[in-house]
Each structure stands twice: as C-alpha cells, then as structure tokens.
Amino acid sequence: MRYCGREFTPAEIALIREWLTTPQMNRARLSREVCERLGWRRENGALKDMSCRVALNRMHADGLITLPPPRNPKPVTYRSYPDIEQAVCEPAVIPAIDLATLTIDPVLGRAESRLWNAYIERHHYLGHTLMPGAQLRYFVRAQGQIVAALGFGASAWKVKPRDQAIGWTVDQRQRNLHLIVNNARFLILPWIHCPNLASRILALVSRRLPDDWHARYSYRPVLLETFVEKPRFTGTCYKAANWQNLGDTQGRGKLDVLHRHAKPVKSIWIYPLVRDFRRHLCNA
C-alpha cells in the first residue's frame, strides 16, 4: 500500500498494529515511532513526522489500522482568536502598493502561523488544510502591510504531462521527486488591486525559495509546479512570470485509483529553478 509517496508492506502494517497495542499510545507518539523504526526520514535526517501522520490517518480511513481517538477532536480555528479574526478582515484604509517595496517574508512562529492559516481559511477558495511533508509559507508585504500569502509543499506523486516533459523513469521519479516543490496556495487579498502584482510576487519568491528550502531541509529544489483550476482561473500571472504550461490534468486528484475523474480539471505549470533541472531529476 502506498501512502504519502511511501510503500508500506503487509509486515510493516502488522508492526504498526502491534505498536498500537502499547499502553497509552497516542497518534503523535505513534507517528514518531513509525518514522524512527521504519527509517522514514528526510534528506537532512529529520523524521517525516507530518507525512507519517497523514499516512496513518489514511490507513485508518481505509480500515487497515484503528487509531486512538485524537486528543483535540475539534481543530483550533482562527475564530478562537478574536485578534486574529479581526486582523484578517478588510482594513478601513487600503494601502497603496508600490512594487518596489515588496518583501517576501517566511512565516515564523505560532502567531504568524495562525495568522497565515486564518488568511487562507477566510479568503482562499480552497480554504486551509494541513500540508504534509516539507513545506514553506510566506507573507508578502508592501511597506509592512500584508498583501498576499503563499504556501509551498510536496509535489504531486504522478502527473503525466509533467513526467513526460521531464523524461524520467519511475525509479528516477521515486528517488528525486522531493526536488520538485508545489505552489499549493497563492492568495492575493481580495481588497488589493495592483497591476503586475501577482507576477512580481512569483518572480521574487522563486529567487529566494531555494535558499530558504536549503536552510530548512538541507537540499535545493530544482523545479516548481502548480495546478490552476479551470475555468475559475486562466493562469495569466504564471504565464507573465515565465512559468511553462504543460497542459491539463485528467481531473482525478491525488488519491483517485478508480479513474472516476471526480476533481476539477486543472492546468499544469512548471518553473525551472536551475537550467539543467532535467539532469538533476533524471540523475541516478
């Protein structure tokens, strides 16, 4: 069974069931136990704890294991923090945007993390969901005022047009997929209207993301990807920022193994972070 890009054998599933019988075993402890005992780590040696938690939840949903009840069954939302709920509302005075003053600031600390989540939950059409695996989130500010938010995380496991454009084998994809980073969220606050703002943001973030990613995860990605839902959006800002359109998805989603085509069709865009990205991705 494959979960979050990792194959779990029947023997490993049996081990997870055995560990679940340990007294006072909870979900967080189980996730760390699985990562440590099965050697599920990132390239920098850190445990892939968040990916493991998502994988365990999916195993539970598929009936392979039975997880203990969560400690906090109701996730904390931004509405639990009145100051944050007020902060994400439209301001009385909308700031003028000078593209020369834009800054791309990583989200650091719990307070900023809650604020980023709140902006996405309130104003992004997809809302806020946890991103498993390696990730970076950013605020975009103009003269100190937040005007946009972006999130980058794990790439899609398999995308035919993308994989054909790269030209890699199945083994190469399994080995090097972490070198692709997905732009999972891009929100310009709805009261902000400024020509060329979106493409300018994409240009700025693509320059600093490799260094930020290396600082956090000890390796540099070589390619960015994103998926733009049709017909809701046309991807104009990605085109203006020199991203390449590879065609459309089949509307299956990441978890569709029955070919039911239940998801919206999306256009596929990539942006090379290095000129020879194919060589890196096809490296044995």
The three-class DSSP label of residue 41 is strand
Please return the burial class of 230, using the count of CB atoms within 10 Å of its CB with bins 0-12, 13-18 and 19+: middle
Q: What is the largest CA-CA distance in the chain?
A: 60
What is the token pair recorded at 240?
């203006």
Task: Quote the CA–CA distance of 151 and 12 in Å, as a whole number.
Answer: 32
C-alpha 195, offset from chain centre: 27
Q: What is the pLDDT of residue 166?
A: 97
pLDDT of the chain, 284 residues: tens digit per residue = 888 878 899 999 999 999 999 998 999 999 999 999 999 988 778 888 888 998 999 999 999 999 998 876 655 565 667 788 888 999 888 878 999 999 999 999 999 999 999 999 999 999 988 887 889 999 999 999 999 999 999 999 899 999 999 999 999 998 999 999 999 999 999 999 999 999 999 999 999 999 999 999 999 999 999 999 998 999 999 999 999 999 999 876 555 555 555 678 999 999 999 999 999 999 86
> If residue 204 lies in a helix (H) or strand (E), which one and from where to where?
helix 197-217
Q: What is the pLDDT of residue 79?
A: 63
DSSP state string for 73-96 = SS---GGG-HHHHHHTSPPSSPPP
Supply the pLDDT for residue 230.
92
Q: For 111-119, which contacts have Cβ atoms below 8 Å and span 24 or more sequence positions?
A: 112/139, 113/137, 114/78, 114/81, 114/84, 115/78, 115/84, 115/87, 115/88, 116/149, 116/151, 117/78, 118/78, 118/81, 118/84, 118/85, 118/87, 118/88, 119/88, 119/146, 119/149, 119/187, 119/189
Domains of the chain, with CATH numbers?
2-61 (no CATH), 95-281 (3.40.630.30)
Which residues share a beta bridge with 188?
Answer: 148
Cβ-based neighbours of 276, under 8 Å, separated by 6 or more? none
**What is the bridge-based pairing of β-strands 266-272 and 6-7?**
unpaired
Nearest to 150 by CA among 98, 196, 112, 188: 188
Q: What is the pTM of this model?
A: 0.81
Measured distance CA(234)–CA(97) in Å, rounded? 24
